[in-house]
């Protein structure tokens, strides 16, 4: 193989590794914008999902928070910790994910959503009905180890 082909192959490999690093930067534990919930963002195949991981405001002896506003009466008694509230987010490049849904346990509503990694420690989540214009955004911060 010629030196030029080696350089081209190496460049392609490095670009692929860089894209994977960017895509996985969103994985981790995040604090919601209101400071009341921890959400673990993780990979599920090619998707990013979000799972309720607790609350920094919960004190020992407090009862677990239940999914009391769920539209399905059968789910209103479930404990929120461990519930998947985000699913289906696909990476579009440039630190942006779309196509997902977000369940808001505070209202019991499910919205379409997008996710944008603003920097290593901030992510912007947008939930909306129909088109993104009709929605709201929340900025989460990474929980440090």
| Per-residue 3-state assignment (H helix, E strand, C coil) for 77-145 | CCECCCCEEEEEEEEEECCEEEEEEEEECCCCEEEEEEEEEEECCEEEEEEECCCCCCEEEEEEEECCC
Q: Is residue 19, in this structure, part of any structural domain at all? A: no
Q: Within 10 A of 70 (CB to CB), how many other CB atoms are there?
A: 17
- Is 99 a domain residue? yes
Q: Is position 15 within any domain?
A: no
Range of the domain at 134: 25-142
Q: State the total domains in the chain.
A: 1
132: confidence class by pLDDT, cuts 50, 70, 90 = confident
The answer to whether residue 30 is domain-embedded is yes
Assign residue 112 the CATH number of its domain: 2.40.128.520
Q: Which of 21, 55, 58, 49 shows the shortest CA–CA distance to 125?
A: 49
Question: How much is the pTM?
Answer: 0.81
The predicted-structure confidence for 11-35, as pLDDT tens digits, reads as follows 444 344 344 446 779 999 999 999 9
């Amino acid at each position: 193989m010629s030196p030029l082909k080696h350089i081209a192959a190496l460049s392609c490999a490095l670009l692929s590794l860089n894209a994977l690093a960017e895509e996985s930067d969103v994985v981790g534990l995040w604090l919601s914008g209101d400071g009341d919930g921890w959400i673990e963002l993780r990979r599920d195949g090619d998707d990013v999902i979000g799972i309720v991981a607790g609350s920094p405001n919960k004190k020992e002896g407090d009862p677990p928070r239940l999914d009391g506003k769920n539209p399905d009466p059968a789910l209103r008694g479930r404990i929120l910790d461990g519930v998947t509230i985000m699913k289906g987010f696909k990476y579009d490049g440039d630190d942006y994910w779309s196509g997902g849904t977000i369940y808001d346990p505070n209202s019991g509503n499910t919205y379409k959503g997008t996710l944008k990694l603003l920097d290593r420690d901030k992510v912007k989540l947008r939930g909306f009905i129909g088109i993104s214009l009709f929605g709201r955004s929340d900025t989460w911060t990474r929980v440090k180890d």
